[in-house]
């Protein structure tokens, strides 16, 4: 087995595409109108599992936007240039919650996407 897709609830498809594709530079893999919903998938340029951007369709889903993993970091992005990608993430509308710190595994900082989800940006140690 291989994990290929993870659902991320967003308030609307356009906002999700704007952040991930327009802001972060990810690939738009699909945007298919299925009548009552769209099948929108995006993925980082360097690969890894894609995100299915799912528009919240009821109050339970709307209430879960930004809190799909509770108060835990739910998503981890690896980079080969922390400074470059941190600047891109900020310019796209995300907020870093800490200054970069050095851990045994590399440089890392936690950030929040426009909907409240927690992410780590990690540049592995050489």
What percent of the chain lies above the pLDDT cut of 70? Answer: 100
H-assigned helices in 1-126: 13-17, 59-64, 82-91
Q: What angle do CA 73, 8, 23 make, to 5 degrees?
A: 85
- Structural domains of the chain sorted by starting position, each given as residue range(s) with its CATH number in brackets: 1-60 (3.10.180.10), 68-126 (3.10.180.10)
pLDDT in tens, 75-117: 999 999 999 999 999 999 999 999 999 999 999 999 999 999 9
State the pTM of this model: 0.94
What's the per-residue H, E or C state across 23-39? HCCCEEEEEEECCCCEE
Q: Cβ contacts of residue 46 below 8 Å, gap of 6+? A: 78
Please provide the distance, in angstroms rounded to a whole number, between the alpha carbons at the two ends of the chain: 30
Write out the H or E segment, with its range, that includes residue 68.
none
Task: Give the distance from CA 36 to its chain's centroid.
Answer: 24
- What's the pLDDT score for residue 97? 98
**Sign of CA pseudo-dihedral 7, 86, 103, 115:** negative
Q: Is the Cβ–Cβ distance between 119 and 77 less than 8 Å?
A: yes
């Amino acid at each position: 087995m291989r994990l290929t897709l993870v659902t991320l609830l967003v308030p609307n498809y356009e906002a999700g595409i704007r952040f991930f594709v327009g802001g972060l530079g990810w690939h738009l893999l699909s945007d298919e109108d299925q009548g009552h919903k769209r099948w929108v998938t995006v993925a980082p340029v360097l690969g890894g599992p894609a995100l299915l951007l799912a528009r919240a369709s009821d109050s339970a889903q709307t209430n879960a936007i930004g809190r799909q993993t509770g108060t835990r970091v739910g998503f981890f992005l690896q980079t080969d240039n922390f400074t470059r990608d941190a600047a891109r993430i900020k310019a796209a509308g995300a907020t870093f919650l800490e200054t970069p710190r050095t851990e045994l595994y590399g440089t890392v900082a936690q950030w929040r996407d426009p909907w409240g989800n927690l992410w780590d940006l990690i540049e592995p140690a050489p």
